[in-house]
Amino acid sequence: MGEKKTKIVKTIKIDADLCNGCRACEVICSAFHATPKYSSNNPARSRIRVIRDPLRDVYVPVYAGEYTASECMGRDKYVIDGKEYDECAFCRASCPSRDLFKEPDSGLPLKCDMCEDDPPQEEPLCVQWCITDALTYEEREEEVEEEVEQEEMEIGLEALADKFGLDKIMDTVARMSMKD
Ligand code: SF4
Ligand code: SF4
């Protein structure tokens, strides 16, 4: 069994009921990630986007997650207060099916990096700029299994080779890979 170690998990809690659609989060996120920093702002470059339906007073902030090449075969359909939203509207992924969370010039995927900075920001900037408290920052500690070090794996292999002989192990590996 590997050692346990502590990892800090950072999350932003979204209370969509408190969001008023002001888009300050989009403005500050895109400004923070501009080169040079704060030199421009363009919500199309933001890593948080607010899905808006002003007539119904529905605003849902969504953060950019990982890039995926999958273009899902099954998609979600959301109905909120009787309004049907676009398929994929609340998905966090940058994906080939839509233009959201892509750098407008290069098409490269955008992903929230929790405003990584040196020195670190006290809180992510979108949280600091959200005056309605729709966004709140939370940190929690989680225990995770330490990954098996490369060195330990090598020792493991050596022990196996000592016990069964290297030829036998190579033979078994060759037979296993032929099954595919
Ligand atoms: S800054 Fe806050 S209230 Fe304004 S759009 Fe973003 S999440 Fe909503
Ligand atoms: S945490 Fe930072 S990078 Fe992530 S969406 Fe908010 S402002 Fe953008």
Based on the fold, state whether residues 139 and 160 are members of the same structural domain: no
Whether residues 87 and 174 share a domain: the answer is no
Does residue 83 share a domain with residue 118? yes
The one-digit pLDDT tens for each residue of the chain (180 residues) are 567 889 999 999 999 999 999 999 999 999 999 999 999 999 999 999 999 888 888 899 999 999 998 888 878 888 887 888 888 888 999 999 888 999 998 999 999 999 999 999 999 999 999 999 999 999 999 988 876 555 555 555 566 566 666 666 566 556 555 544
Question: Could you tell me if the CB of 61 is within 6 A of ligand 2?
Answer: no
- 56 and 42 co-located in one domain: yes
Nearest to 60 by CA among 44, 83, 42: 83
Name the residue range of residue 129's domain: 4-145
Q: Are residues 137 and 163 both part of a single domain?
A: no
pLDDT of residue 173: 55
Residues 122 and 153 in one domain: no
159 and 74 share one domain: no
Q: How far apart are CA 16 and CA 50, in angstroms?
A: 10
Nearest CA to ligand 2 atom 8: 29
Total structural domains in the chain? 2
Q: Backbone phi, then psi, for 9, in 5-degree steps?
A: -100, 125
> 33 and 65 share a domain?
yes
Judgement on whether residues 87 and 122 belong to the same structural domain of the protein: yes
Which uninterrupted H or E stretch holds 153?
A: helix 150-164
**CA–CA dist 56, 62 (Å, integer):** 18
Q: Is 130 in the pocket of ligand 2 (CB under 6 A)?
A: no
Backbone angles phi, psi at 158, to 5 degrees: -60, -45
The residues facing 144 across adjacent strands are: 5
The pTM assigned to this predicted structure is 0.77
Q: What is the C-alpha separation between 93 and 63, in angstroms, rounded?
A: 9
Same domain, 12 and 91: yes
Q: Are residues 89 and 157 in the same domain?
A: no
The whole-number pLDDT of residue 38 equals: 95
Task: Output the six-digit token pair for 175.
Answer: 């037979």
164 with 31: CB under 8 angstroms? no
Distance 134 CA to ligand 1 centre (A): 6
User: Residue 4 has what pLDDT?
Assistant: 83
The preferred substitution site among 130, 131, 133, 137 for testing ligand 1, maximizing ligand atoms within 8 Å of CB, is 130
76 and 14 within one domain = yes
